[in-house]
């Protein structure tokens, strides 16, 4: 059976560390079978201010690539490569999901939080 390995840096990663803002990725290493659904967890903590949430991917030997972002409005965000994430303020979560994982999804995934408009950080 083929399996897809997702590496997550189990670290706090923020585009701009300010105040009490942080994101937490509880899973260090996630393995799923090819064509299974994929879910990468991200919990965030805002200092109460407005914030923007992002998911980035880094494929082996490549630089960081943007997947999707939540700025405002619809809390279900569809991104690149079949990924989507739903902002759930009641759970302070912004989990990344894909319906059918592929071997080529093996990578490191980063959840990030910013209190500034994209591009300013
Ligand atoms: C949070 O809200 C979503 C719908 O927006 C719901 O599906 C989910 O069950 C809620 N979670 C909790 C812990 O209440
Ligand atoms: C993280 O998100 C989950 C929902 O998937 C929620 O149940 C949990 O309470 C959140 N944890 C924290 C520390 O906010």
The model's pLDDT over 67-111, given as tens digits with 9 standing for 90+, comes to 999 998 899 999 989 999 999 999 999 999 999 998 889 888 988
Atom of ligand 2 nearest to the CA of 26: 1
CATH, domain range 3-114: 2.60.40.10
Q: Return the best residue to mutate from 88, 92, 94 for the ligand 1 pocket (most ligand atoms within 8 A of CB).
A: 88
Residue 1 CA to ligand 2 centre (angstroms): 31
pLDDT on residue 2: 53
| CA distances (Å), origin 16, targets 19, 20, 34, 46, 112 | 10, 11, 35, 12, 9
Instruction: Look at residue 14 and tell me whether its pLDDT is greater than 60.
Output: no
Provide CB contacts within 8 A for 34, sequence distance 6+: 1, 2, 3, 4, 101, 102, 103
Residue 93 CA to ligand 2 centre (angstroms): 6
The model's pLDDT over 32-52, given as tens digits with 9 standing for 90+, comes to 888 889 999 998 887 766 678
pLDDT on residue 113: 85
Query: Would you list the domain boundaries of the chain?
Result: 3-114
Instruction: Look at residue 1 and tell me whether its pLDDT is greater than 50.
Output: no
């Amino acid at each position: 059976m083929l399996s897809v390995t997702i590496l997550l840096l189990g670290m706090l990663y923020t585009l701009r560390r300010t105040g009490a803002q942080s994101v937490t990725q509880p899973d260090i290493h996630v393995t799923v079978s090819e064509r299974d659904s994929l879910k990468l967890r991200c919990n965030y903590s805002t200092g109460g201010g407005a914030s923007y949430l992002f998911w980035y991917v880094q494929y082996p030997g490549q630089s960081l690539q943007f997947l999707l972002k939540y700025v405002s409005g619809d809390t279900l965000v569809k991104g690149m490569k079949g990924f989507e994430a739903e902002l759930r303020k009641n759970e302070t979560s912004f989990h990344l999901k894909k319906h059918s994982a592929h071997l080529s999804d093996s990578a490191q995934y980063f959840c990030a939080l910013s209190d500034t408009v994209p591009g300013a950080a």
